[in-house]
Each structure stands twice: as C-alpha cells, then as structure tokens.
Structure 1
Amino acid sequence: MNKRIAALALGLVASVAFAQSYPSKTITIVVPFAAGGPTDRVARDLAEAMRKPLGGATIVIDNTVGAGSSIGSNKVAKAAPDGYMLLLNHIAMASMPNQLRNMPFKVDTDFEYLGMINEVPMTLISRPTLPAKTYKELVTWIGQNKGKINLGNAGIGSASHLCGLMVQSALQT
C-alpha cells in the first residue's frame, strides 16, 4: 500500500511539474466517510506522502459524510477543477448510481480518475462460539439457520455489503 501511495504522490507531483506555482493554497482531500475509519486512514497516509514532494504543502482531510458517500462526492463534483480539492472514495463510486435515484452529479463525467491507491481484502469474522470452524461447516450451518442470521457490514453499497450479497446469492438463501 505504501508503494502505491508514494507512486500516486509522485505522479501528482510530476503532473504539476510545469506549473511551479502549484500548490499555492491548501489542498483538501475529501473523505466521504467518518474520521477514524479505513478510508480516512488511507487519506491521511496519502496526505503525508504528498506533503514532501509538494514542497511541504498544507493538505487537510475533510470528512464530509452521509448518504452512502454522495454528500462528500457532490462537494468535490461542484468544486473548481483546479486540483485543490480531491476525493478519496472506494466501491461506493461504482454502486451509487444503482442506489440513489437523484444524484446531483454524474460519476462517469464529473470526476477525473487519478488512480487506485490500495486494495483491501475482505474477511469473514464470527463470534468464537459459532459452531462452524471451516467454510464448509459455515455453509451447512447457514442452511440450518435460515432467517436467524445477521450479517454486519459497513453500509449499503459498501464492499462488505456487496460481498455479503454475493455469498447470499451463491448460497441461495
């Protein structure tokens, strides 16, 4: 992950090499999720990696949360396209158009894709007293307990939500 952050930071620096006055003001990275979460952590690491190559630039993290990341995303979509307000989002950008009827922006035209920062593996975790100890045992246990199982995730449209739906579909529950 750190190599990707450094590569992106260097790419950003290289893209503005001819515009020596950049940055002339604070750069804001909007994270459309709560402070302290995984996306926020990645944004803070990215900001730190960008500071030195950008000559000690001031880079702030703005956690503008709500509506499956659409509020923070809209903030960036409506900002001046001058490189001073960036958005750090994840799978929500791909799932939003299918979840929200009246989005105030267009995911495919209102943003310039800069690159992927990191990849996040998904894990399945349970309480230690769950009788299933292997995936095969878990599938059997789920079949025996239909309608009694709760699955927690990061929210509608999140990677963990979509993975849960894929498992549900695969198990036909």
Structure 2
Amino acid sequence: MGACALAFTASATAQSAWPDKPVTLVVPYSAGGPTDVVARLLAVPMGKSLGQAVIVENTVGAGGTIAAARTARAAPNGYTILIHHMGMATAPALYKKLPFDPMKDFEYIGQVLDVPMTLLSRKDFPANTFPELLAYVKANKDKVSLANAGVGAVSQLCGLLFISQIGVNLTTVPYKGAGPALNDLLGGQVDLLCDQTTQTAPVIKDGNRVKVFGVTTQKRLSSMPDIPTLDEQGLKGFEVKVWHGIYAPKGTPPAVRDKLNAALRAGLQDSHVKQRLAESSSEIVPVDKQTPEALRTHLQAEIDKWGKVIRAAGVQAE
C-alpha cells in the first residue's frame, strides 16, 4: 500500500513538473512551407507558456505519413508532438498500408487554424465569371487542364471535389509541389488551379496575374470580401479548408495534454501570431474548436468526407 502511494506521488510530481526539457514539434513537410510557417509561429509563444523551448523538427516524406508514424511511436510523455493538416484525414483512403491509425494512435491536443482555398485560372482564360467557367468547362472538357501539387495534396483534393460536383471529368496535371503548379498557371501552361490562400493571395492581390472564380469557404473572406464563395454561386455545400491540428502519442497523461492545450490556446492568442496569420488570409479556429474533443470529432468527420471523394476518384498514393 505504501509503495503504491509513493509510486503514485512520484508520477503526479513528475507530471506537475512537466516539462523539464524542450518539446519537439514535428512538422511533416519541408521548411518554408505553409505548415512549417504555422509551426514556427506557434513555437515561440507555446514555449513561453510551457517554460521550455518548443523545437520545430521537419520530418518529410510520404505525404506526411512518416512524421505521423514517428510521433505515434514516440514515448507518450509529451516531449514529441505533431502538427499536421487535413492529410491526417485523407491518409487512410490514400494509402493501402498506413503505419498508424489516426483515430487510435494519438491523443488530441486541439485544432489550430483553417486556411481557405481559391479557384483560379490563367489570366487569359476565356471565361470571366463562374457561370461562364462552368459553361466553358462543360463544352470543352477535353481541352481544359486542372493543375495540382501532387497525389494527396490539398490542391488535388479540392480539384477532385470540384470535378465531382460539376460532373465533368477534366484533365488533371500533377506537379511536385504547389509552387511549380502556380508558376505554370501564371505562365499559361495550365488552365485552372485550386490552392491555398497562403500561396494564391499575393498573386490575387496583384490584380491582373490570374482570374479568380471563388473561394472554398461557406462565408466570404474578410481579407478578400469581393470574391464570392463557390457555394453562393451554385456549388452548394462546397467547402475545402486546409485545417491543422496538434497531436501527441496515445497514452500521453491527461495533465500533460492539458498543459499542451493551454500552451496552444496561449499561442493562438499571441498578437504576432494573429497578425501573421491574418496576412495570409488564414483563420484561427474559434475557442470552442481549440479543444481535444473538437479535433477528434472533426478528424473523424473529415475521414468520412474525403474517404468517399478519394475512393470515388480511384486515387491511390504509392
């Protein structure tokens, strides 16, 4: 009895003293990309809240599955956590042999932000309005190309959803990244692209480099209020947001998870973080979504949603 009490006291003390060393925040994508930028923005205020440095570590490859698997296998002590976007939800349908289960192998810390997307065309595309775009695409489906950043990329998923809702099978052109896809759109080599505002907002604000047919959110963006949503233009229910969440290995103690969640909330209230995210048209999720349960619920809903789209399109990653 005494030994059990001592063990419990030692465990509680260790958790109350957590963290006593830096925390590693694993990013599944390369430095400088949208997810990496978010991670590095949050790392500083989260570190201040925790009283220890939060070190960003890029673990790249296989559409983010290498980083997720590494985090799932890490010691469940809160010192290795993961920030991942909606790739956590699409991976089960994209990969035949996934080395982790998004719904069983993690503890959920909270949602972070949503990055809207925009549907663009090259500047000399024949259509000027969304109704004109639909009419032209349906009449010239074999001639219209739709670029994306590669298999499993959010731009590909947005394109697949667009194709499924308009009922026209367009020619898709995969690239090795969002940058090359956007560059070829700007150069007139491809016709259409659906991509994140972190990539597209600068060229949209330039005024005459692309044509914009809509945003993929249910409401117009406060940063670009003149651009209508695809939903309000007839694609009812069309919504694609590049949402992000933070995860810890399964079995991470509740007290540690609570501290990580408090640090995340503090980071999202930081004025510098708010300013930088607003500049890229990214939207911090409401407070009620910054919770572990909200992330878990959203992840399951997104797995169900995108699983249907991916399986219907017959898309499979290597």
- Scaled by the length of structure 2, the TM-score of the pair is 0.46
Offset, 1:20: 4.1
Aligned residue among 36, 44, 47 for 2:40: 44
Aligned partner of residue 114 in structure 1, secondary structure: strand
Counterpart in the other structure of 2:118: 123
Offset, 1:160: 2.4
AA partner of residue 157 (structure 2): L
Is residue 151 of structure 2 the alignment partner of residue 162 of structure 1?
no
Aligned residue among 19, 24, 39 for 1:28: 24
- Equivalences for 1:33-112 in 2 at 5 Å? 33-55=29-51, 57-112=52-107
Offset, 1:157: 2.8
Counterpart in the other structure of 1:7: none
Offset, 1:156: 2.6
8 Å CA contact 1:33, 1:64 repeated in 2: yes
Offset, 1:21: 2.4
Aligned partner of residue 151 in structure 1, secondary structure: strand
8 Å CA contact 1:91, 1:157 repeated in 2: no
**C-alpha distance in 2 between matches for 1:133 and 1:64:** 41
- The higher radius of gyration belongs to 2
Counterpart in the other structure of 2:143: 148
**C-alpha distance in 1 between matches for 2:141 and 2:20:** 58
**C-alpha distance in 2 between matches for 1:34 and 1:152:** 21
Offset, 1:170: 1.3
How many percent identity over aligned positions?
Answer: 46
Alpha-carbon spacing, 1:140–1:107, altered in 2? closer, same or farther (3 Å): same
**C-alpha distance in 1 between matches for 2:158 and 2:96:** 23
- Deviation readout 1:102-140 (Å, 9 max, x if unpaired): 111111111111111001111112221112111111111
Offset, 1:153: 2.7
8 Å CA contact 2:27, 2:67 repeated in 1: yes
Counterpart in the other structure of 1:15: none
**C-alpha distance in 2 between matches for 1:29 and 1:136:** 44
Offset, 1:150: 2.5
AA partner of residue 103 (structure 2): D
Aligned partner of residue 118 in structure 1, secondary structure: strand
Aligned partner of residue 45 in structure 2, secondary structure: helix
Aligned partner of residue 56 in structure 2, secondary structure: strand
**C-alpha distance in 1 between matches for 2:40 and 2:127:** 38
8 Å CA contact 1:43, 1:61 repeated in 2: yes
Unmatched segments (≥5 aa) in structure 2: 1-13, 169-318
Q: Would you say how many aligned residue pairs link Structure 1 and Structure 2?
A: 156
Aligned partner of residue 120 in structure 2, secondary structure: coil
AA partner of residue 127 (structure 1): R
> Between Structure 1 and Structure 2, which shows a larger proportion of helix residues?
2
**C-alpha distance in 2 between matches for 1:82 and 1:35:** 26
- Scaled by the length of structure 1, the TM-score of the pair is 0.83
